[in-house]
Amino acid sequence: MSLPVSPLAPRELPDLPPIAGIRLASAPVGGYYGGRRNVLLLAADSGCQVAGVFTKNRLCGDPVTWSREVIRGGALRALLVNAGNANVAVGAPGMAAIEAKTAAVGACLGVPASQVAVASTGVIGQPLDPKPYVAALDGLAERLSERAWLEGAEAIMTTDTFKKAATAQCEIDGVLVTINGIAKGSGMIEPNMATMLAFVATDAKLDAGVLDALLREAVATTLNAVTVDGDTSTSDMCLLMASGAAGNADISDAQDARLDGFQAALEAVLRDLAILIARDGEGAQKLITIDVTGAKDEADAMLAAKTIANSPLVKTAIAGEDANWGRIAMAVGRSGAEVNTARLAIAMGGTAIVERGGLLAGYDEAPVAEHLRGREITLTVDLGVGHGKARVWTCDLTHGYIDINADYRS
Amino acid sequence: MSLPVSPLAPRELPDLPPIAGIRLASAPVGGYYGGRRNVLLLAADSGCQVAGVFTKNRLCGDPVTWSREVIRGGALRALLVNAGNANVAVGAPGMAAIEAKTAAVGACLGVPASQVAVASTGVIGQPLDPKPYVAALDGLAERLSERAWLEGAEAIMTTDTFKKAATAQCEIDGVLVTINGIAKGSGMIEPNMATMLAFVATDAKLDAGVLDALLREAVATTLNAVTVDGDTSTSDMCLLMASGAAGNADISDAQDARLDGFQAALEAVLRDLAILIARDGEGAQKLITIDVTGAKDEADAMLAAKTIANSPLVKTAIAGEDANWGRIAMAVGRSGAEVNTARLAIAMGGTAIVERGGLLAGYDEAPVAEHLRGREITLTVDLGVGHGKARVWTCDLTHGYIDINADYRS
């Protein structure tokens, strides 16, 4: 199945600069996706420090189990990603395939298999034969390049209709560092702690413990704030790798003010990736940004925002360009978030609709209807309780989603 | 918008017998639904005992607030239902409209307004003018009849494509009693404590406290076990009325064994209505029955079953007749229910697919594919943990759902 590119795709992607110490190569393996490149090998030549966040799905795949263990060691030498087969729920052959692949990567690059992470995405429940991947390794290793980021972004796609990449620069204590990120994700998207697949690399010199703290903080408001269909993958992971080549000063405390710029740049990269994922939501015709304010706390704000974002009735109303704000009120009510009925406010596209719990006197739907005809929709809800707030990105629910998912495997 | 009748509609509805002491009348008011009858007046001539369960949506509508208060008194004289306008989230005019309507019903029938329940279903957020409803009352009162149950079932429909009614008889301590039920519901369906609209009446002689206990127990495994889209209405309610005309012996304890037959008959009526609602899920092409066994407890079983039932990826796979059991595993994993990965089992249409956590050796997809081409799909999941179990009904997610909901108000 070949899908048209999302109408919400960005006009152009940033040109990702090299990250010293990190090289990539990709290739088509196994005939998935009409022969498009679908395997990515990433090598950290001198090793790198690494942190990761992973799916909370209780039936997480063997690749997640393996890579969580690799990341626990804090050091990474290589990463092998394949798209097309998630290597999940296949029984004992699942881990055997990972052992075969990582042993082969270790032998090929001369690194310990225990420092080789893997990620797999695609169909669940089909045994993955490691042989074609092993056979492709020598060719991949020969072509490793610091310049191959966008090919890497392509190689990890499944039903994605465009590549997702972001980059940012900042200084750590006067030293310029770069952060590159690539991601994939289009359906089965409601990350819970991590997301889809996202691989972020920097030349900053930061140890695994610091990376872990920075990553967890950044993910909460970025990758964990995007949802397409509320379904949480068995395979989600986001890795943050630091080659150390920039040679900045050692900083051992993630809260050190000298890391503020890096934290902001990391969040910018992850936010860009999160929004790109919402823009490529299966069948998406409209990008929806939902701001909830006035909540009891941030968790309550996120609960309300996610419930609105996942409501099939809200998503289909927006697909139909229908200013049916009552469905937003319904979703707020069922979310379980604390709400002050007498102070509830709802706006779309900046036009106030509900204030103090009721329809605004003299409300004119025309500007809202005009806003809904656009590609980028904003919803704002104030719960009237406290100061908690959250922002979530999602997309509308259209015939395209049904087309893609009613016939995914054929 | 006129919708084709669901292909899952029953061939015929039962002929609901009279319930002595309960009369109904219906009429078209306000030009909704192409002039179809959309208002129901139900009168309990000598009063009846009543219990009710209501939506847990925190932004419940004024009709729910009003009727909850009426039911608290335990006695009911009349019920006025309208379809087309939910009278929700309209500010102060909402309760004013209810006061006007119930005062008029009280005057018309010579009963206290405080014993007149109301229910409203339809669009949220549009002010409801009580005048046309008040004007229709005299005509309705003249035509009240014990024989008008199926017209009543029609009058409460919104996007429903067929009427929903069920009936059962049983004995209480040797006295024959009858239970009739009607319901509406098609979208915005994941009842949480109550459901959509359902009105159940019996001639049994039971007081409000006993009715309340019997109703809560029956709803848990019937109306609360159906879901179409996971969205919880602001207007859900299920009322159980008892006219007492059957003259059975007084029974003041809901656990009394003489009520076992009544409890079973009540559950049968509510289960019939629940399945009818799933059969009329917006856009439904297939009825899906999900059984979860082997859970830690019943709550965990219900959690897993509801998560499978609400997964857009599971629902679209079944719409596409795709035996993509991996999505069922994904949903189980994300549900949060406790699962023993080494003992997980999944079957479709009675064919085992996954056993002991992995794909069954020699699994042949052909009988599953054949099953999926039918109208009535069964999924069975064993979590391998304990003895908790639950059954949930839902439907597939199709283009029809998008058609209906992307353009509901126009």
Residue B116: per-residue pLDDT? 97
* Tens of pLDDT, residues B187-226: 665 544 334 788 888 999 999 999 999 998 988 888 887 7
Contact criterion met (CB < 8 Å) for A334 and B57: yes
Name the residue in chain B with its Cα closest to that of A321: B406
Tokens of A85: 């087969």
Angle at B343 between CA B342 and CA B346, to 5 degrees: 120
Most confident listed range (A9-13, A197-201, B105-109):
B105-109
* Tens of pLDDT, residues B374-410: 999 999 999 999 999 999 999 999 888 888 778 655 4
Using the structure block, give the residue that is written with the tokens 């909704």.
B32
Tell me if A84 is assigned to some domain: yes
Name the residue in chain A with its Cα closest to that of B343: A91
For residues A151 and A113, is the Cβ–Cβ distance under 8 A?
Answer: no
Residue A169 is part of a domain; what is its CATH number?
Answer: 3.60.70.12
Using the structure block, give the residue that is written with the tokens 């609360």.
B224
Using the structure block, give the residue that is written with the tokens 């999941």.
B381
Q: Sign of the CA dihedral B64, B9, B225, B221?
A: positive
**Across residues A65-88, what is the average pLDDT?**
93
Residue A410: per-residue pLDDT? 46
Tell me if B72 is assigned to some domain: yes
Q: Which of B232, B311, B332 sits opposite A334 (nearest CB)?
A: B232
Tell me if B203 is assigned to some domain: yes
Indicate whether A215 and A350 sit together in one domain.
no
Tell me if A274 is assigned to some domain: yes
**In the predicted structure, residue B61 carries a pLDDT above the cut 90:** no
Tell me if A2 is assigned to some domain: no
Indicate whether B261 and B315 sit together in one domain.
no
In chain B, residues with a C-beta closer than 8 Å to the C-beta of A410 are 320, 322
**Catalytic choice (B55, B102, B159, B195):** B195
Q: Closest Cα of chain A to B218: distance in Å?
A: 22
Contact criterion met (CB < 8 Å) for B409 and A322: yes
Residue A408: per-residue pLDDT? 53
**In the predicted structure, residue A20 carries a pLDDT above the cut 90:** yes
Indicate whether A206 and A258 sit together in one domain.
yes
Tell me if A11 is assigned to some domain: no
Residue where a domain stops, chosen among B239, B259, B279: B279
Contact criterion met (CB < 8 Å) for A317 and B60: no
Indicate whether B261 and B305 sit together in one domain.
no
Residue B233: per-residue pLDDT? 66
Residue B108 pLDDT grade (very low, low, confident, very high; cuts 50, 70, 90): very high
- Cα separations in angstroms, A113 against A77, A102, A118, B124, B261: 9, 5, 10, 59, 66
Indicate whether A237 and A266 sit together in one domain.
yes
- A338-347, B49-58, B194-203: the lowest-pLDDT one: B194-203
Q: Counting Cβ atoms within 10 Å, is residue B375 exposed (0-12), middle (13-18) or buried (19+)?
A: exposed
Contact criterion met (CB < 8 Å) for B234 and A331: no
Q: What is the mean pLDDT of chain A?
A: 89
Q: What is the DSSP string of B30-95?
A: TTGGGG---EEEEEEEEEEEEEEEE---TT--HHHHHHHHHHHTSEEEEEEEEEEE---S--THHH
**In the predicted structure, residue A199 carries a pLDDT above the cut 60:** yes
In chain A, residues with a C-beta closer than 8 Å to the C-beta of B88 are 326, 329
Residue B260: per-residue pLDDT? 93
Percent of chain A whose predicted confidence (pLDDT) is above 70 = 94
Contact criterion met (CB < 8 Å) for B402 and A233: no
Indicate whether B395 and B259 sit together in one domain.
no
Residue where a domain stops, chosen among B279, B308, B337: B279
Using the structure block, give the residue that is written with the tokens 């049994």.
B204
Tell me if B344 is assigned to some domain: yes
Residues in chain B: 410
Q: Closest Cα of chain B to A305: distance in Å?
A: 14
Residue A188 pLDDT grade (very low, low, confident, very high; cuts 50, 70, 90): low
In chain A, residues with a C-beta closer than 8 Å to the C-beta of B317 are 405-406, 408
Residue B246 pLDDT grade (very low, low, confident, very high; cuts 50, 70, 90): very high
**In the predicted structure, residue A78 carries a pLDDT above the cut 80:** yes
Domain that holds residue B307: 287-405
Task: Give the count of Cβ contacts less than 8 A between chain A and B.
Answer: 214
* Residue of B231, B321, B330 best to disrupt the A interface, most CBs of A under 10 A: B330
For residues B42 and B145, is the Cβ–Cβ distance under 8 A?
Answer: no
Percent of chain A whose predicted confidence (pLDDT) is above 90 = 61
**Across residues A99-121, what is the average pLDDT?**
96
Indicate whether B214 and B143 sit together in one domain.
yes
Tell me if A3 is assigned to some domain: no
**In the predicted structure, residue A195 carries a pLDDT above the cut 50:** no
Indicate whether B275 and B291 sit together in one domain.
no
Residue A150 pLDDT grade (very low, low, confident, very high; cuts 50, 70, 90): very high
- Cα separations in angstroms, A177 against A150, A201, B216: 19, 11, 62
pTM here? 0.80
CA distance A358 to A354: 5
**Across residues A199-222, what is the average pLDDT?**
90
Most confident listed range (A121-125, B88-92, B106-110):
B106-110
Contact criterion met (CB < 8 Å) for A330 and B409: no
Indicate whether B342 and B230 sit together in one domain.
no
* Tens of pLDDT, residues A231-289: 666 677 888 989 999 999 999 999 999 999 999 999 998 888 888 888 888 888 999 99
Indicate whether A82 and A137 sit together in one domain.
yes
Query: Which positions of A are catalytic?
Result: 195
For residues B46 and A324, is the Cβ–Cβ distance under 8 A?
Answer: no
Indicate whether A270 and A291 sit together in one domain.
no
Residue A90 pLDDT grade (very low, low, confident, very high; cuts 50, 70, 90): confident
Q: Provide ipTM, 2 decimals.
A: 0.73
Residue where a domain stops, chosen among B279, B300, B334: B279
* Tens of pLDDT, residues B176-198: 999 999 988 876 655 443 347 88
**Across residues B316-343, what is the average pLDDT?**
90
Q: Which of A92, A232, A410 sits opposite B322 (nearest CB)?
A: A410
**Nearest residue to B82 (alpha-carbon basis) of B184, B193, B189, B195:** B184
Percent of chain B whose predicted confidence (pLDDT) is above 90 = 61
Q: What is the mean pLDDT of chain B?
A: 89
In chain A, residues with a C-beta closer than 8 Å to the C-beta of B336 are 58
Residue B193: per-residue pLDDT? 34
- A10-24, A228-242, B43-57, B318-332: the lowest-pLDDT one: A228-242
Q: Which residues contact A361 (CB under 8 A, 6 or more apart)?
A: none
**Across residues A314-338, what is the average pLDDT?**
90
In chain B, residues with a C-beta closer than 8 Å to the C-beta of A342 are none
Residue A165 phi, psi (nearest 5): -150, 150
Q: Closest Cα of chain A to B321: distance in Å?
A: 7
Residue B191: per-residue pLDDT? 47
For residues A173 and A258, is the Cβ–Cβ distance under 8 A?
Answer: yes
In chain A, residues with a C-beta closer than 8 Å to the C-beta of B311 are 230-231
In chain B, residues with a C-beta closer than 8 Å to the C-beta of A405 are 312-313, 316-317, 320
Q: What is the DSSP letter of A135?
A: H
Contact criterion met (CB < 8 Å) for A354 and B187: no
Q: Which of B88, B331, B359 sits opposite A326 (nearest CB)?
A: B88
Indicate whether B312 and B273 sit together in one domain.
no
Contact criterion met (CB < 8 Å) for B317 and A402: no
For residues B115 and B76, is the Cβ–Cβ distance under 8 A?
Answer: yes
Q: Closest Cα of chain B to A149: distance in Å?
A: 30
For residues B339 and B357, is the Cβ–Cβ distance under 8 A?
Answer: no
Is B195 labeled as catalytic in the residue annotation?
A: yes
For residues A53 and A68, is the Cβ–Cβ distance under 8 A?
Answer: no
Provide the domain count of chain B: 2
For residues A140 and A133, is the Cβ–Cβ distance under 8 A?
Answer: no
| Strand pairing class (A75-85; A116-123) | parallel
Angle at A258 between CA A255 and CA A264, to 5 degrees: 75
Q: Terminus-to-terminus CA distance in chain A, angstroms?
A: 8
Residue A179: per-residue pLDDT? 92
Q: Which of A125, A359, A407 sits opposite B91 (nearest CB)?
A: A359
